[in-house]
């Protein structure tokens, strides 16, 4: 599981993974802030005014939290995608679960498919059955006779789960 205690990433320059630093990126919205931090650390050059003077590649060797979902092959980091996802409504853990299931971030699809959190497929099936009016929990029978494990297996053809977060498949 990915840690969600803030998003951090190890940014580096010149293709040398030891030439960089860890940054908390929850508040960064553009590459200028990353370049400024790398310049302040002495990892990239600055101009006579102390501003970053670097046009090379800035890569990510590792990331934590939501940022982990936006690192790709060849140490590329999708800062625009990260910023869009971070700014979207929803719990960070739910967003990470969404990315775990669906791969790419789509805020509209997240809003349409996210159902919530449950401790088990059986709990999810029970609550869904009550929500759609398929069962009345106040009536003991047949509620107490339902095989919720089987019911959950059946309903999970239309839903998916990651780390207790449930999403519809359609």
Query: In angstroms, what CA-CA distances link 126 with 9, 161, 162, 167?
Result: 40, 15, 18, 16
68 closest CA partner among 9, 18, 133: 9
pLDDT of residue 29: 80
Angle (CA) 165-166-170 rounded to 5° is 145
Highest mean pLDDT (candidates 81-85, 87-91, 128-132, 164-168): 164-168
Over residues 4-56, the pLDDT tens digits come to 448 999 999 988 888 899 999 987 888 999 999 999 999 999 999 999 999 99
| Per-residue pLDDT at 170 | 75
CA distance 134 to 126: 10
Please report the sign of the dihedral spanned by the C-alpha atoms of residue 60, residue 62, residue 68, residue 69: positive
Task: Count the helix, strand and coil residues of the chain and give each as a percent rounded to the nearest 5.
Answer: 40, 20, 40
Question: Cα separation of 52 and 116, whole Å?
Answer: 44
> What was the pLDDT predicted at 73?
85
118-132 pLDDT, tens digit per residue, is: 999 999 999 999 898
DSSP state of 124: H
41: tokens are 């650390």
Give the pLDDT of residue 143: 66
């Amino acid at each position: 599981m990915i840690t969600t205690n803030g998003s951090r990433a190890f940014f580096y320059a010149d293709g040398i993974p030891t030439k960089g630093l860890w940054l908390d990126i929850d508040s960064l919205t553009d590459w200028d802030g990353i370049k400024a931090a790398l310049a302040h650390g002495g990892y990239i050059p600055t101009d006579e005014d102390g501003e970053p003077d670097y046009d090379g590649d800035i890569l990510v060797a590792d990331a934590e939290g939501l940022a982990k979902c936006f690192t790709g092959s060849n140490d590329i980091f999708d800062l625009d995608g990260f910023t869009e996802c971070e700014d979207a409504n929803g719990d960070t853990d739910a967003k990470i679960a969404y990315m775990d299931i669906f791969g790419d971030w789509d805020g509209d699809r997240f809003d349409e498919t996210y159902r919530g959190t449950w401790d088990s497929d059986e709990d999810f099936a029970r609550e869904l059955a009550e929500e759609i009016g398929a069962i009345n929990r106040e009536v003991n029978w047949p509620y107490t006779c339902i095989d919720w494990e089987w019911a959950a297996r059946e309903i999970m053809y239309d839903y998916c789960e990651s780390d207790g977060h449930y999403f519809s498949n359609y």
